[in-house]
Amino acid sequence: MKLPDLLGSEKQIKWANDIRQEYIDQLAQDEKLVEKYLELKEKSDDDSKELKDLQRKMSTSLFADMDQSRFGSIITPIMGADLADKQAFEDKVQDDTEGYLFADFSSKEEAEKCYEQVKQDYLKAGGQKVWDLSARYNEITDKYGFGVENEETDSAYQKWFDESEKVMFNYLKIRWDNKIASEKSSAWYIDHRLNKKF
């Protein structure tokens, strides 16, 4: 990854460079954690102790969803649950663009640009398959009625959930890589460190 030169005073640049390198190293470690988790999940049942231990570690990793960890909110403006369903995503985009001030955007245009990039990153991560599986699950629940559990609904839900989990990890990796490869502000790294956002 080609890293941009950071802007700021000599002292700020040195500190921010150190912080940036820490997170490059942590991302590499966390990526191995994700790979181990996904591999183990395919082989063992959800109640295994090793899998639960990995899930606990995942919740403090840089790949944790923003509803699980403070890390996610600095890299994506939307939770995994809202990304995994196309209608939920579109509703979130509409809410945040119309009420952009409440969503911490300075303008409607800024919100639209942000969410367009989110959409492109999610689709690049494999999100279309997640949206297709979500649509299939919704069709089945419409057929039987919401809340009715049977083999068909359980199977459709599990396929959707498993794929959405994998794609969310891919999406967060894309977001982190893009942020680190483009962020030139020493102050961004320092501010988040001082505020303990990561």
User: Highest mean pLDDT range out of 48-52, 102-106, 145-149?
Assistant: 102-106
Provide the pLDDT for residue 105. Answer: 92
Buried b or exposed e, range 32-56, using 16+ CB within 10 angstroms: ebbeebeeebeeeeeeeeebeebee
Query: For a pLDDT cut of 70, what percent of the chain falls above it?
Result: 93
Check: CB of residue 58 under 8 Å from CB of residue 65: no
pLDDT of 198 > 60? The answer is no
Mean pLDDT of the chain: 89
Provide the pLDDT for residue 16. Answer: 97
pLDDT, tens digit, 9 for 90 and up, residues 6-16: 999 999 999 99
Of 158, 168, 166, nearest to 134 (Cα)?
Answer: 158
Helix (H, G, I), strand (E, B) or coil at 132: helix
Q: The tokens of 83 are what?
A: 């990304």
Q: The tokens of 29 are what?
A: 């470690």
